[in-house]
Amino acid sequence: MPAKQGPQAHLTEKVQSAYKKLSIAANDLNTASDELGKAISILDSALKKLNLGVSAWVQLSGNEHLDGEWWSRDVGYTRIRDKWGIALKTGSGNYNDPDGASEEIWLFNEAPRWMRTEAVGRIPDLFEALLKQADDTTKMIKDKTAQAYELAAAMSKVAEEAQTAEQKGGDTRA
């Protein structure tokens, strides 16, 4: 079969050449993406060892309009499908219609590549946000623990009084 001549042959060669170059570029892209993923996995492992159990988010980009429309992209640390990890999310909506808001969340290494590269520079800010969230949560837990002990003391006093009354044979019903 004779080789194609003319414009069709030129297009075929151009596509073949571009595909070969694209194949090499894709390999390089995947290698670079895998390396970024490994680095983030190290950070995830270090955070997992802390057993924080708190979420925090830092905005990467976003905007609000006068008509109530908003959108945002964020990097955070949260629990997704029973796994804690560094995550990325997009959200959009209108403050006048909260039920119409939409949100998509990915673990970092599952997010679109362009979002991952956008987020890397904000990871130190995320760690600061996690520190603040951990400190705030600790304070709240301590305050609620004191309240719980007060409730427990009140309950113990009532239970003790009821038990004393029963031992004396008295009726404890009001």
Write out the chain's pLDDT in tens, 174 residues. Answer: 555 566 787 899 999 999 999 999 999 999 999 999 999 999 999 999 999 999 999 999 999 999 999 999 999 999 999 999 999 999 999 999 999 999 999 999 999 999 999 999 999 999 999 999 999 999 999 999 999 999 999 998 888 888 888 888 755 555
pLDDT at 174: 55
DSSP state, residue 72: E
pLDDT at 161: 84
pLDDT at 118: 96
pLDDT at 4: 57
Residues 6 or more apart in contact with residue 88 via CB below 8 angstroms:
73, 74, 75, 76, 105, 106, 108, 111, 115, 116, 119
Cα 94 from Cα 28, distance rounded (Å):
40
Parallel, antiparallel, or unpaired for β 69-80 and 97-107?
A: unpaired
pLDDT at 167: 85
Which tokens is 104 given? 């998509």
Amino acid letter, residue 27? N
Q: Which element (helix H / strand E) includes 37?
A: helix 7-50
Which residue, 71, 64, 72, 69, is CA-closest to 94?
A: 69
pLDDT at 30: 96
pLDDT at 87: 98
Indicate the SS3 state at residue 171: coil
The domain spans of the chain are: 52-167
pLDDT at 157: 87
